[in-house]
Every structure is written in structure tokens, then in C-alpha cells.
Amino acid sequence: MKANRKKALILIVAAIVASAVAYRSLRYDPIHEGRHMTDWMSELSDQKSRERAGSAVQALQRAGPTAVPFLLAGLNKRDSRVRSFLWRHSPRILQTRLSAPPDHSYFQANCAGILGDISPTSPEVVRALVQALRSGEAPVDFAAAMALRRIAGRDEEVAKKLKRDFPEMMAIEGNSAAARLDVMNAIRGYQSP
């Protein structure tokens, strides 16, 4: 009887390990520079180490179009509205004992910036960046605006569309601090009410 239980337990553990290995190998997660894209994305979201995030930015830029699906997912990453609501409305005593919902704006801004550097650019990327331009999070809005301006510099068709839809933002010349401030002021007018 005990021998049968041991065999059953060993079979269950073996089945769980085999399923985990099969899931990992079947999942679309290309390798770039010896690491999976999901690993680079995890490093990109590391707010504690700007150096690690910086190396992830460079690696994802070099990965090019292979990184686009992962960057689009990162750009659209949102925390649960329920969790945010509960956090804002919970008593202070609970807030001191629980961790705050993560702020994804730094991660999303990095994703937007990288998407602006990857060529060729798909219409899906442009749509996602235009949507991010209206996020209401200043770092994300600014990174999306600058990414769209870089894409417009490479793609005449995108430039025409952006000049039509965002004339104030696209009329600003250069990349100086003053120009960046002008871009921020221009995109404030595009925020959804």
C-alpha cells in the first residue's frame, strides 16, 4: 500500500515537472543575446536598478522587431483597477502593512521610447503610441510623443498622418530642452477629458 502511494506521488511530481518544462518550451519567447525576451522585459521593469534597466533598453533596441510584441504588451501594462481603488480607500493602518500597487509609468515610458527606435515601424506600433500619448501619465505621454516624432523622421507616411492629427506637437523643431518642454505643453492639449 505504501509502495503504491510512493509511486503515485513520484508520478504526480514527474507529471508536474514535465508539464512545466513543456510549457516553457512551447511558449513563444525568443532568445536574444543569450536571454529570453521576458527576462529582458523583467529587467526593464526593475525600478531599483537604473543600470540594469539601461542595459535592458539597449538589448531590446538591438533585438529590433523581435521585441515589438513584448514592448507593446509592456506599454499596455496596467495594474488592476480594483486593487488601485482598494489601496486608495483602505485605512492607513492597512496601507502601512501592505505594499502599494506598482507604478508602471517608468516601465511604460521605456517601452514607448524603445518602440520609437525600432525600424521598420508597423501601424500597430503607431496606434499603440498614439494611444499611449493620451495615457495621462506625464512620463508615458512624453516618451510616446518623442517616439512618434522619431518615427515620423524615418517614415514620411506616418509623418503626414501625425502632422494632420497632432499639428502642434509635430511643428516643434529640434530636440533641445526647450523643444522637449514645447512638446510636453503641446501634448497636454491631446489628453482625453
DSSP per position, 124-154 = HHHHHHHHHHTSS-HHHHHHHHHHHHHHHHH
What's the confidence (pLDDT) of residue 193? Answer: 45
Q: Where are the alpha helices (DSSP H) in the chain?
A: 2-26, 37-44, 50-63, 68-75, 81-88, 92-97, 105-117, 123-133, 138-154, 156-165, 167-170, 177-188
What's the confidence (pLDDT) of residue 87? Answer: 75
Residue 106, CB-side half-sphere exposure with 13 Å CA sphere? 13
What's the confidence (pLDDT) of residue 80? Answer: 67
What's the confidence (pLDDT) of residue 189? Answer: 61
What's the confidence (pLDDT) of residue 68? Answer: 94
What's the confidence (pLDDT) of residue 74? Answer: 92
What is the longest distance spanned by two Cα atoms in the chain? Answer: 80
User: How far apart are alpha carbons 192 and 133 in whole angstroms?
Assistant: 10
What's the confidence (pLDDT) of residue 26? Answer: 55
What's the confidence (pLDDT) of residue 67? Answer: 94
Question: What distances in angstroms separate CA 129 from CA 49, 75, 83, one per listed residue?
Answer: 25, 8, 26
- Grid coordinates representing 65 are 522587431
What's the confidence (pLDDT) of residue 19? Answer: 73
Listed as ranges, residues in the chain with pLDDT below 50 are 192-193
What's the confidence (pLDDT) of residue 27? Answer: 60
